Chain A
Amino acid sequence: MTGPTVVVGEVADGHLTGPTLEAIGVARALGRPTVGFVAGAHARSAGPEFARYGVLEVYVADDARLDSAPGGARVGPLREVLASTGASVVLAGGTTNGRELVGRIAIAWDAAAATGVTELAAVEDGVRVRRPIFGGRATESRRLTGERQAIALRPHAFPSPAESPGTPHLHEVSPGALPAPLAAAERTGVAPTVRGAGPGLTDASIVVSGGRGLRGPENFHLVEELAAALGAAVGASRAVTDAGWRPTSFQVGQTGRAVSPQLYVAVGISGAIQHIVGMISSRVIVAINSDASAPIFKVADYGVVGDLFQIVPALTAEVRRVRGL
């Protein structure tokens, strides 16, 4: 007996996030009944957005405490939804919080678990998943067996679903009392991610990163202007963040963020292995570097060998022109 799929929604700026929409699309493609779950201060207002994509049964735990408590506080209300719907699969978006929730629910719900999933299919005795490993240098397929599976997707691996509006049925879920160890943890603040006006690094479908080839922080605006024209997030190599040109939150690489956008543009980055493992799973890689023998050209799909101080402004102008900016 196979039960429904529960999509765990996340909310930012009062709306369901992009990774949540990707999870909705995947859940619908599984071809089983799908229900939505969302917790936190905006659960009741954002929950109905599930219905825009054909997910009509929506469970909401509307309680601001769930936003400022450790992520473990969401396990209780989610378990209640899993029990009352007789669910077989929990699906979360490819975010830090989504991944953590999968780890916890694997224990709390005794489920098989996988994260960073780029393909999945229902099979006779469970779900088969495919996921990049070793920083995208290899891919594994795994079979998640048993009656319950908890899965977090890889960001940007799936398209947002087509709209299929309907009337939502909201079900209230009581968040219950916080377990004492969780209640003792205090979130003392939240600062917006330090970044330009564009999307966050790991959310972005285009990333433009700058490296040592920019020669100094005073030239980093070249990268930011190209990113702005492309609607891209701005990243940096470790050389740049170590030198303090940009905060470490910009760093793409083994010790920074791993990104997998549709398009990755490396400006003045030579391509140390440390950096490569953080961006190798991008769909298309473009490198702009004056050194034709730089290792970045081995992993890039397209390359421009030349002076970035000439190429990048010309590229920014051309992108603006074709996009009518």
Chain B
Amino acid sequence: MEIVVCVKPVPDAETRLRAAADGKTLDAEGVKFVLAGYDESAVEQALLLKESIPGSKVHAIAYGPAPRTEEVLRAAIALGCDQATWVDAAGDSSGDPVTAARALAGVLAGVPRDLVLLGKQAGDDESGIVPAALGQLLGVPDFSCVVDLRWDPAGTRFRFQRPVETGVESWAVPTPLVIGLQQAWNDPRTAKLPAILKSRKAPIGRTTPASASAHSLPEKFELPPPRTGARLIEYKTPQEAAEKLVRVLREEAKVFP
């Protein structure tokens, strides 16, 4: 099984977000970029499938600028991916997921791939556009919000579930396909120190996509006013707490009739 996992470097969850000087995007100065969230689950799931299907390989591909993109690819190798390709986003500062999908598809078109696996959405822009755009670009079926992804060797197809708003769908789909993952079988593993050290010297392929002009451009990056903490309801009895809370929710917050 040739598994390709696409990942995106995103700011560490603890990052204090700030707007850049032009006010349009996140200020990346001093920010630690990591492999995180759904992408981390996608790498975990790719490795679990590799371990359970003899003769499988995992190729990690990422689109983004230096040096963060190369760093997350090294993290993916340290976790157990066999190969990595960096699609250099130099010159594209749009943050446009459609542009990213086109760049990734340019590389995907030329590599062996039975399964393209990625997080259902990135942890920063949360657009969820890339999995569906890749399916369309590659001419293969795509599914996002996928859980319990399993290979059925007898039926030579993947079986998985997709919990969406209207119910939980079950699917059986032959390769090739694109999966936007909601959850892996288990929590993502952490890399061991020798593997991390070894990954620093691993070769990383680099390609530059054909230049494309994005049709989605950032104009403003804003932070919400800081939450000042809860207003605590003062009360003597649980009944009084309940009455006061319901009153403020109805009259002040106006959240229910």
Contact = CB atoms under 8 A, between A and B. Distances in A.
A106 B233 CA distance: 48
A46 to B, nearest CB: 13
A285 B231 CA distance: 11
25 contacts: A72-B135, A102-B132, A107-B102, A108-B136, A135-B126, A138-B26, A139-B222, A139-B224, A142-B217, A142-B218, A144-B215, A186-B171, A190-B167, A191-B167, A192-B168, A193-B166, A194-B168, A254-B123, A255-B37, A263-B255, A284-B255, A292-B232, A297-B229, A299-B230, A304-B232
Nearest to A255: B183
A99 B170 contact: no
Nearest to B17: A138
Interface in B156-178: 159, 162-174, 176-177
The 10 closest A-B pairs by CB, nearest first: A103-B132, A303-B230, A112-B215, A300-B230, A314-B238, A318-B242, A107-B136, A141-B220, A314-B242, A103-B129
Interface string A269-285: 00001000100000111
Nearest to A248: B183
B242 A133 contact: no
Interface residues of B, number: 83
Contact of B235 (A95, A140, A193, A304): A304
Contacts, number: 275
Contacts of B164: 95-97
Nearest to B244: A304
Interface stretch (B46-54, B83-91, B141-149): B141-149
A193 B168 contact: yes
Interface stretch (A47-55, A113-121, A216-224): A113-121
Majority-rule SS of B interface residues: mixed
Contacts of B233: 302-304
A297 B229 CA distance: 6
B124 interface: yes
Given A12-B166, A103-B133, A322-B246, A181 B217 contact: no
A188 B246 contact: no
Interface stretch (A24-32, A58-66, A169-177, A200-208): A200-208
